[in-house]
Amino acid sequence: MTFLSKTLSLFSLIFLFSNCNSFAQKKENYAAQIDSLIQNTTSPVFNGVILISKNGKALYSKVKGVSDFETKKPLKLDSQFEIMSNSKLITAVLILLEVEKGKVELNAPIKKYLPELTQTWADSVTVHQLLNHTHGITDLQKPLAFKPGTRFGYGNLSYTLLTKIIEATSNKSYTEIANALFKKLKMKDTYCYSKDKNQNLVTGYINSDGNFEKVTQTLITPQNLGADGVVSTVSDLTIWNNNLHRGKILKPETYKLIFQYNITSQHNLFGKENEGYGYGIRIIEKEAVKYVGHTGLGDGFSSINLYFPESDISLIIIENQMSKNADLFYISEFKIKNILLKSDLFHKN
């Protein structure tokens, strides 16, 4: 081999090695960025669990912080959190299972299933409108805030009524119905909240400029379990996504109903644009990558569950803290989501 050919071979090897190195660095880039973010962010600190999965297998998982700020007991990957409004999609799915059994009609007035309602609007508000928050109910004792179907008005009351509808049509408690589904899906660490079954539940905190105040009074009641009453883990929510989005819970035509929307709304986690709202889930179509998902906030807990259908990727983050400052709600989750959206998981050369 001549000196020139040896030199060219050496350059080729250096080029190949540097390219491989560059590719590896890029591939790991989102993980390194997320690591840096959660380690270095101080206002507020990150205190929770992250799991990113693709095709049902974990790509990235991270645990940072404590389950109790007094005992300093560390969080674990399987720590159980209240997922608050991420419970709503589960309730929507339970309603759709009742639809598949022929027990519920989405366009039927809710009085059909809750005859005890004496309000005049019970004859006009439909199950569909409860599911997508277009019902106009703000208080059971007050007139509607707007004509049903004309506006979006987010709240827990609609899913409290859906909880009652599930119980009425199934002749079982919401807890019994939901827990049976969790057991079927092998979500072993997921259950409906109850005061006598919270020994493994981590403590929720309100974060006020770095001072953590323990939440001692829960917002969850037996009546509003379908709105915010599910306890789960990042791993179990990944199982939930894998089953739901791969057609293992609902029939294909029923599954599609979740994402059909005729109303839009804005939420800071998902940007400044109005995006579609389906049945207990937001449909994000104006960001760099299309995805669906929801948030949960309350009792000192923050959670997001995002699913990217084109790549079969889930991003699930749960924290046992929520900021007292509304401007800081989901701030770490927002940054992590944006790191992921810009990563080579979605933008390959």
Residue 46 DSSP symbol: P
Q: Encode pLDDT of 3-19 as tens digits.
A: 344 443 444 444 444 44
What pLDDT, on a 0 to 100 scale, did the predictor assign at position 28?
52
Q: Report how many domains make up the chain.
A: 1
What pLDDT, on a 0 to 100 scale, did the predictor assign at position 198?
73
Domain-embedded: residue 8: no
Q: Encode pLDDT of 254-266 as tens digits.
A: 999 999 999 999 9
Residue 154 DSSP symbol: -
Domain-embedded: residue 39: no
C-alpha dihedral sign at 279, 262, 99, 138? positive
Q: Encode pLDDT of 288-342 as tens digits.
A: 899 999 999 999 999 999 999 999 999 999 999 999 999 999 999 999 999 999 9
Domain-embedded: residue 27: no
The helix, strand and coil proportions of the chain, stated in percent and rounded to the nearest 5, come to 40, 20, 40
The domain that holds 177 is classified in CATH as: 3.40.710.10
Domain-embedded: residue 4: no
Domain-embedded: residue 107: yes
**What SS3 state is found at 246?**
coil
Tell me which residue range forms the domain holding 209: 45-341
Find the mean pLDDT for residues 185-190: 97
What pLDDT, on a 0 to 100 scale, did the predictor assign at position 324?
95
**Average model confidence (pLDDT) for the chain?**
92
Residue scoring higher pLDDT (131 or 346): 131
- pLDDT over 70 at 73, yes or no: yes
**Cα–Cα distance measured from residue 88 to residue 84, given in angstroms and rounded to the nearest whole number:** 8
What pLDDT, on a 0 to 100 scale, did the predictor assign at position 49?
98
**CA nearest 162: which of 204, 120, 125?**
125
Provide the pLDDT confidence category of residue 348 given band limits of 50, 70 and 90. Answer: low
Domain-embedded: residue 10: no
Q: Encode pLDDT of 272-283 as tens digits.
A: 999 999 999 999
What pLDDT, on a 0 to 100 scale, did the predictor assign at position 14?
42
- pLDDT over 70 at 27, yes or no: no
What pLDDT, on a 0 to 100 scale, did the predictor assign at position 197?
79
How many angstroms separate the first and last alpha carbons of the chain? 35
